[in-house]
Structure 1
Amino acid sequence: MQFRQHQREAHIRTARLLGLFALLLAGLSITVNLLLALLYKLLMPFSVGFPGLFFETNTGLILLFVLGGCLVESQRLRDGGGPRVAHWLGGREVRNPDDATERRLLNVVDEMALASGQPVPRVYVLPREDAINAFVAGWGPEDLVLCVTRGALERLTRAELQGLVAHEFGHIKEDDLPLSMRVLSLVWGLSLVHGYGQTLMAPDDKGHVGPLAWLVGLVFSITGWLGWMAGRMLQAAVSRQREFLADASAIQFTRARDGLGNVLRKLWHDQQILAGRMRHPAAGMVSYLLLHEPGAATCLSSHPRLSERIRRVCGTVLPPLPAPLVHIDTVEPRHSADSLPPALAAAAPLSPQAQAQQARQEQQAAAREALSRLHGRVGPTEHRLITLALMMNIHNESERALWQRMAGTVHDAQRILDDVVMLPANRRVPEFERQTALIAREPIEQRRALVESARDLLRADGRVSPRERLWWLALRHRVSERQNRQAYMRPTTGQGQELHHLGPSELSCVVPLTTYLARFIPVEESAEGWAAPSLAWFKGVMGRCGKPVDTQPGPPPDADALVHALAGVQELSWMLRPLLLKAWVEEAVNHSAHGVLSDQTADALRLAAGLIDAPLPPMLEAHYPKPDAKA
């Protein structure tokens, strides 16, 4: 995604949010006017009509409170950013702590920032919150904060704390924070009166509440309840899919699903047994920022049900998990140079962990430079050479030699090849899609020549591997004319809406294509020639398609059978193809080590998604960086 396109998408999301806010504000004004009119008639039953400017005054006061509150809070958030939200909820910044749990938290934050390639935020602890929770806030890297409750520090193991922090870094990666900050300012305006009442009714640090303050707070809370309800509706209207994306990103960053899975199970236990609520009166206003919102999921929830999130993360719905206090046996040292005096930091030798971090940062910087150079190539011949280099096996001498001959006298051809080699594994398919999107605009003769050149390149060593055939099919599909592809598609009427409704003719195409893709699930050959994960994955997919669980895969399809099967799957309805892709991806996650897709598996499934023109599921999309993200 180009920068301007990303900017347009952000503007669209903001415009939708403001439009929804305007609708809620109009509904709130109408509702309050109706209730006040009813109250006036009850108190003055014999009056005729209403006093002059009755409705105008009510509407003006509502707009004054709501819009004034939004503007004031928006300006405060603009000035204070993430630290403003952290201090608002009673947060305390953690810098160079002596406490073992806080030192462990800082180390985990550094590790997840490195794993995700995101900036390191300022870290805050909410010392008065016993519930397990966390959130990130801020407009950008300069004011980014991560807040963790004391309950999370004391009741989560290190692996679980990694999962919790990685989930929050998932929100940073998905660029959720600017929209979250705008939601917060709008909800503050809608909930201003109710929130003020809740603050008056809340006990102080000693647990005391003044009777008069409590009574006044009760009046304000009742008066502002409608605005609070409108604010919760605004939060609930924001897509819940962002939580699934953040969960998937957390698994990618930690390379394990047990950490986040156990965090969600402990949250579920807190909700069912201990209510799991945060104590601060403003916690309801920031529920959109939290890992889960207080209370059970309802129609006003801005988050999906914990049971559904656990099922997606763990592959099945595991029961709630108690969260006792965790005893830390060893105190972790802080290896960050920031914790040393400047004179010692320059002279101190790097630890193995710091050396590995430095090496990874250098590798990421080199990959960013390589990607930038590839994006700077604007010639059609350069686009074709980059595409061929992405498709071929870099370590195959025959293919490399043929690529060099195809490059001929192109200026800086070796630099192009070196830049492609330097790309991380999860950058190759996205860059392939970007290059082929540019090539698709070229004349048909040049596109046909590229497909033929790719065919010759991939069989330069006398054989075509399953991976190479899949890439070649993806190339042919992406650079062909869409109207020509659709000309051979039969009508999709009469098909069901679920995978188990597939008929024999559809299954005759789904089964061989699934058999072919099973080659890309993590392989460890068995006596029968099939890998146990591949076989389990195939049976899982077939079970979702209504086939018996003991269904055995047939022989892998040859080239002609594969093309025929792919054509049949392409003719499935627009509803069934995403369901089939989702089944492939979810079963692959369930049968991958630690629930993390390998690069080979993810690439094969992403290419297959393009071949059947189906959108990427969140679990697969999270494996890859955002199109405009840095390497």
Structure 2
Amino acid sequence: MSNPAFFERQANARRNTSLLVVLFLAAVVLISLAVCLVGYMVTRSESTSLSYLDWLLSKHGLITAGSVAGLILLVSLVRWLDLAGGGERVANMVGARLIDPSTQNQDERRFRNVVEEMAIASGVPVPQLYVMDRESSINAFVAGYTPSEAVMVITQGALNNLSRDELQGVVGHEFSHILNGDMRINIRLIAILAGILVIGQIGSFIFQSSAHRSSFSSRRDNQQAAIAMAVFGLALLVIGYVGVFFGRLIQAAVSRQRELLADASSVQFTRNPEGIASALYKIGQKGGLLRSTSHATDMNHMCFGESAKMAFSSLLASHPPIEKRIEAIQPGMLTRLKSRMRDTVPAAEIRRGADTASPSAQSSSPLASQVAGFASGGISRNLSPISRAPTPGQFSGKVGQVTRDSEQYAESLLAQLPATFRELLYTRSGAIQLCYALVTYELEPDTRQNHLELLEPHPAFRPEAHLLERFIPTLTKLGPGIRFPALELAMPALRQLAPDERELLANCVQTLVMADNRMTLFEFALTSFLKRHLSVDAGRAPGVRYRSYRPVAAHLTTLFSLMARAGTASSEEASQLYQEAIAGFCEPGDAANTMPDKVSLKALGEALRHLNGLSPLLKPAIIDACGHCVTHDGKVDATEYDIMRLVADQLDCPMPPLTTTTV
């Protein structure tokens, strides 16, 4: 059976976003009514006989209510637009520094290595990495609207104080937020709370300025007016912060469950409960409060641990207590961690919250030997295709998951990459040349040179032979299994290109692809991947347009027709496989039951664009039908891998590598 957890969480994330909008509008109405009540009480006189309801429906009442609601909506809209820059904007907002992909700092290299392993194992592009240099506390968060433009931010204290196992636990936790669609709702919560908070901020300003005026004014009339304004400001302050209280109450209720889910996912991803548990224990000892940014409270629900002190913490804390989180990971874990700390650290240091990793925590994982820098290449594994057909539902069940096979694959792949190859992926010029190499590495040298000469001699985008020569031998040796992972490793460098440079790169790649007047499935997958993840709207999450298969029946026909042909050797066999794939999506006698004679890659691109508009709960069946086609003959070859990866990527369904590792 298919494991629908990923798709259900995606659907829940969308529902939670809608619920937040409803609750926000309800808060706007209630705050507006409360402000109107204050206005009614302040302006009422003995000669006025209007009731509150009549006053509210009068010109003055409507203007007051409209002004308050408009102000709240305007502030939230401005903040919403300000955060439209996605993860990068949030990272800049808190003063984080972009980590140079080619950094030589050992802590930063270790962090990057852990993130890259998790990205390859989960099938998502490598996030942009940031560090908050001035933060000695232990914390981290991810931000963005889609995995395509996600950023991961970590504090310097986390880099300095966490072991590799603990860092891996934190990264696994944050990847759960990326995979489950939590990032989008987290950013929108910031905008929503900004609007609700503005009334309280205005009230605070009026109260303080009026109190200041009354204390320095000698005239009685001025003092009375100032006191009246101070009372009005105090009333607005109370109303504003009552709204904030309930807003943060909702924020905490939503966030707490997601944090427990992310903790559990981290254990599932890393297979090492002590890693994340020990990281949480160190946060409890050292603290995770962010002190270098004024946005710590805004970011509280986004961080690995509490980033700001909260009044009424039992109600408003965005995270469950540290002790509860550790015990939820594994009963008795907290006692073991306390005992180990007493055995290995002087009592005085424990009281000071000193941070010393225990020997057993350092050696509890096979990854412990890779504490600094890149993974070692001590174990050599060969990348091989799947040798048997997966059971029904196996493909959709892997979406959004990290399996032991995919984790081993990521470790093995990174260990096999030559240092020069990998370092080049982190540079702007190297990432560009990789794209050229992916298109041309299988060509004969003379043919490759002829194709490369078709590119315009742009200073930054011209082919560089000495760089291509460093990529081609490794691509040839490791084969098709390295192509997409290498591209994912290069994505942080490619994202640094300006919009016009991204377009120029896409045009150059398209020129190389069409140099022989034909386009292979891999070339189509490559150009589609670059277009999707480097386009101007790459960070824009697609909305749900279809809640049934009927409106997209023609596009399903296009997709399954190509998948059936890719998984068979004859037209008769392809037709039979197509019938099996389409059977669950249309009624007998529908036109969709007839396989089209041919399918263009342009039509495939259009089909995938429309299919991404389906509700998340409708996508697993499509993934499994495609998986049925490619495993028809009991194995997945390079061409089938390319098309499966393309389908999963275009449907926003991050899929772990389809290859396994064998010794």
Structure number with higher relative contact order (C-alpha < 8 Å, ≥ 6 residues apart): 2
TM-score w.r.t. the length of structure 1 is 0.49
TM-score w.r.t. the length of structure 2 is 0.47
